[in-house]
Amino acid sequence: MSTPRWPRILLKLSGEMFAGERDFGFNPPTIKGIASEVASVHSSGVETAIVVGGGNIMRGAIAAESGMDRVAADSIGMLATVQNALALQDALEKLGVDTRVQTAIAMSTLAEPFIRRRAIRHLEKGRVVILAAGTGNPYFSTDTAAVLRALEIKASAVLKATNVDGVYDKDPNKFSDAKRFTELDYRYCIENRLGVMDMTAFTMCEENNLPIVVFNLGDEGNVRRVVFGDEIGTVVRGKRS
């Protein structure tokens, strides 16, 4: 394609990606690379929103399994996403990309509160909007937050960046004969529990016919390739008539 296939996207980034090869924390060169990917898509005129996770700092569900109160653990996890959002904002602005961070938890000295109409207006003005703190509620994953925000801002697709190159019928790290799907429909994923997203997020996509593209962020230029229609990753959507 010579033109983008979607005018407005929401990119979902897991927190683990901010750590790069490390087990924890930030890897500045990795964050710079993510920012370059986003800047490339943004420069093509695609309105870009991003939801970030916080798993490189804190994963609420795992902390809760270790004995921490789940609400407290999830609250810490939401704050971790804000740290990642600010780090990505810094990297983007060093590349000359006008950026706004909005959070689901009010913290006015660091970022704007999430206001749907304001977020849309930022996108229309050519700003990248980074959406942090999940939904602002415990027990909801950043997958769910990503789909919710995508629907609220009327994004055309959710791009889920991962460390594998799509959705497989079984774990490709364990099985050499694992098969990668190029395209799937929602119902097949649900019936076969393929784990594209958590069930709440995935059901919301199905009910609103919001396509998901699962792809590997590790290959340079892949975000742009997805946006311009290259056949990489796995596209999940409703059955075609």
Q: What is the pLDDT of residue 76?
A: 93
**Per residue in 182-239, pLDDT tens?**
999 988 888 888 878 888 998 899 999 999 999 999 889 999 999 999 989 999 988 6
Phi-psi region of 154 (alpha: psi -120 to 50; beta: other; left: phi over 0): left
CATH of the domain at 116: 3.40.1160.10
Angle in degrees, 0-180, between the axes of helices 142-152 and 116-124, rounded to the nearest 10: 70
- Cα–Cα distance list, 84 to 1, 34, 90, 193, 201 (Å): 32, 12, 10, 30, 21
Report whether pLDDT(23) > 90. Answer: no
- Tell me if 209 is assigned to some domain: yes
Instruction: Give the pLDDT band (50/70/90) at residue 1.
Output: low
Residue 170 has what pLDDT? 84
Is pLDDT at 241 greater than 70 in this prediction? no
Q: How far apart are CA 135 and CA 156, in angstroms?
A: 20
2 falls within a domain: no
Q: Would you state the pLDDT for residue 64?
A: 75
**Residue 20 lies in domain:** 8-237
Domain assignment of residue 151, yes or no: yes
Range 89-111 average pLDDT? 97
Mean pLDDT across the chain: 92
Higher-scoring residue by pLDDT: 52, 63: 52
Q: Exposed, middle or buried: residue 163 (CB in 10 Å: 0-12, 13-18, 19+)?
A: exposed
Q: How many domains does the chain have?
A: 1
Is residue 1 a part of any domain in this protein?
Answer: no
CB 161 within 8 A of CB 132: no
Is pLDDT of 154 > 90?
yes
